[in-house]
Amino acid sequence: MTESKQYQLAVLNGDGIGPEIVPASVKILDAAMAAAGAPAINWTELPLGRSAIDTHGTAVPAETLKALNDVDGWLLGPHDSASYPEPHKSALNPSGTIRKHFGLFANIRPSKAFPGGNAIVEGTDLVIVRENTEGFYADRNTFAGTGEFMPTPDVAIMHGIITRAATERIAHSAFQLAQSRTKQLTIVHKANVLKMTTGLFRDVCKEVALQYPDVTVNDFHIDAMTVHLVRRANKFDVIVTENMFGDILSDLAGEVAGSLGIAPSINSSDTHAMAQASHGSAPDIAGKNIANPIAMILSSAMLLRWLGAKFGDEKVLAAAELVEKAIEATVLDGTTTKDMGGTSGTSEFADAVANRVTTVAHV
C-alpha cells in the first residue's frame, strides 16, 4: 500500500454563504483524515471574491492563481459576482476564471437521494458529466474576452462552440465513470434543432462509445431529458452533455434528489482539481446559519477521492468514504437543515457530521 502523503489544499471561501459552508467542510475533512489515520491536511486560505476586490482590486488576484498551481487541490466557495461593482461585475466570474486558467474540462456533478432526505424521486443516484470548456457558455469559448458581444445596442450574439477534441475528452471521462458504476450512459443533446453543434457532440460521443462495448448507451433531447428526470431520475446513471445543458440538468437533478443544497461537484483536468458545490452563493440567507453545507462537504469528499485515485492513496479514499457515510447517517437520523425539512443550523449540522465521522469509522 502506498504511504499516505500530507496534502496541501487551498481554501477560497467566496461570497454569500461561502464563509459558512466552506469552513464546515474543512472541519469535517480534518475529522475524516484523522479517523482514517491519514496525515493532517495543510490548509492555505487565499483571497477571492468581493473581499478580494476590496483588498486586491480584483476578484481573482494573480497571487491566488499562482498559489493554486502549487497545491494539490482546492475548495472553492460560491461567488456572488452579480453584486460586484463594475468593471468586476462584467468580467469573467471567479469560478469561470479559475476553470479557464487551469483547463478544468470535466465538471462531475452527482445527484444522490438520501434515505429520509425528502427526495422528489426516491432512489435517485446519477452523475452528470458536464463538458466544462466550451459549448453554449460564451465565457469559455475564446482565448481572450468572451464569445458574447453586441454589434448594436439592440442585437446580442453568442458563440456556441463544440469541438471534436473537447467532446472526445469528456466522453472518455464519462464512459470510464460509467464502467465503474452500472455501465449505463445517456447522451443529452438538441440535435433536432442544433444539428451541427450538439449533433457533433452526440455523434462523437457515439463514436467513443465503440471503445466501451460493455456500456449501454442511449440519448435524449435536452427538453425530453428534463421530463425524464422529474418522472424517473432513479432510472438513469451517468449522463454526459455540453456545458449549459449540464449546468441546468444538474440543478434539476439536485432538487429531484432532495435539495440543490445537497448537489456536489468537482471540476478537474488530468493535473488539477477543484471542489465546488453546484449551487450559488444564496446571499438572501448568508450569515443566518441556515445554509445546507452538504453540497460543499460532499464536493470536498469528491476532491479526496480524486486525490486518492491520483496518488493511489487508500487512506484518503477511506477518509472520503467516511465523510459520505457520516452525512448519510446524520440525515437518516433526522438531523437536517431547513431546506430538507429539518431544524438544524449550518454549524449544528456540521458538528453532527464531524461527530458521526468518528462513529462510522469504528463500525
Beta strands (DSSP E) in 120-183 are 125-131, 148-152, 155-158
What residue type is 313 in one-letter code? Answer: D
Q: Are 257 and 205 in contact (CB under 8 A)?
A: no
Q: Which of 27, 190, 315, 325 is catalytic?
A: 190
Q: What is the DSSP letter of 337?
A: B
Whole-angstrom distance, CA of residue 240 vs CA of residue 176: 12
Q: Which of 251, 313, 325, 339 is catalytic?
A: 251
User: Annotated catalytic, 339?
Assistant: no
Q: Which of 137, 219, 237, 315 is catalytic?
A: 137
Whole-angstrom distance, CA of residue 335 vs CA of residue 332: 7
Q: Which of 66, 89, 206, 223 is catalytic?
A: 223
Whole-angstrom distance, CA of residue 247 vs CA of residue 304: 23
Starting at the edge strand that comes first in sequence, how are the strands of the sheet with 42-45 ordered? Answer: 42-45, 8-12, 73-76, 273-275, 266-268, 106-112, 125-131, 238-241, 184-189, 216-221
User: Annotated catalytic, 251?
Assistant: yes
Class of residue 56 by CB neighbours under 10 A (exposed 0-12, middle 13-18, buried 19+):
middle
Q: Which of 15, 237, 247, 313 is catalytic?
A: 247
User: Annotated catalytic, 72?
Assistant: no
Whole-angstrom distance, CA of residue 172 vs CA of residue 47: 34
User: Annotated catalytic, 84?
Assistant: no
User: Annotated catalytic, 137?
Assistant: yes
Residues labelled as active-site residues? 137, 190, 223, 247, 251
